[in-house]
Amino acid sequence: MARARLPTKVAILHGTHKANPGRFARQGRENEPQNTDPLPPDPPDWMTEPQKEVYSYIIRICHKDVLTIADQSIVEMVAVLLCKFRAKQGDVHPNLIGKLYSGLDRLGMTPSARSKVSAVKRDNGKQNPLSEFAA
């Protein structure tokens, strides 16, 4: 089975676009929708209080500038799964653990996913004198 393609922002954080620019260009990522609206920090009203706490926790510890409003559903699902895992103190069906791990991995919140993320250059209005030497 083929591996799922990394989201563009995550691929850029991993440096994939620099490692193999030809393949990255052939994927046609320039035509994908660009939604830069940030993920709302407030959890949805339908969540229980423990789920709301986990939702806020996920947003707080996730990599900055990766999540957008389009990711709200996956964050909600992972928050509900993590809340179930915590409520049962880990004594859950292995399928739930697999789904939870998969969701956390897709959000870049596992050791293997985190090890692939590199620092993001922030444009805070100041010109870096060494930026012309950056690849």
The per-residue pLDDT for 130 is 55
Name, of 9-23, 24-38, 63-77, 107-121, the range with top average pLDDT.
63-77
Please check the confidence at residue 124 and state whether its pLDDT lies above 50.
Answer: yes
The ranges assigned to domains in the chain are 7-33, 37-115
Concatenated DSSP letters of 40-97: PSSPPTTS-HHHHHHHHHHHHHSPTTT-BGGGHHHHHHHHHHHHHHHHTTT-S-HHHH
Name the residue with tokens 């100041």. 126
Q: How far apart are CA 100 and CA 98, in angstroms?
A: 5
Mean pLDDT along residues 57-76: 85
Per-residue pLDDT at 67: 80
| Residue 22 pLDDT level (bands cut at 50, 70, 90) | confident
> For residue 85, is pLDDT > 90?
yes
pLDDT class for 87, splitting at 50, 70, 90? very high
**Torsion sign (Cα): 57, 109, 111, 81:** positive
Using DSSP, how many helices (H) and how many strands (E) does the chain show? 7, 0
∠ CA 17-69-103, nearest 5°, is: 70
Mean pLDDT of 58-85: 88
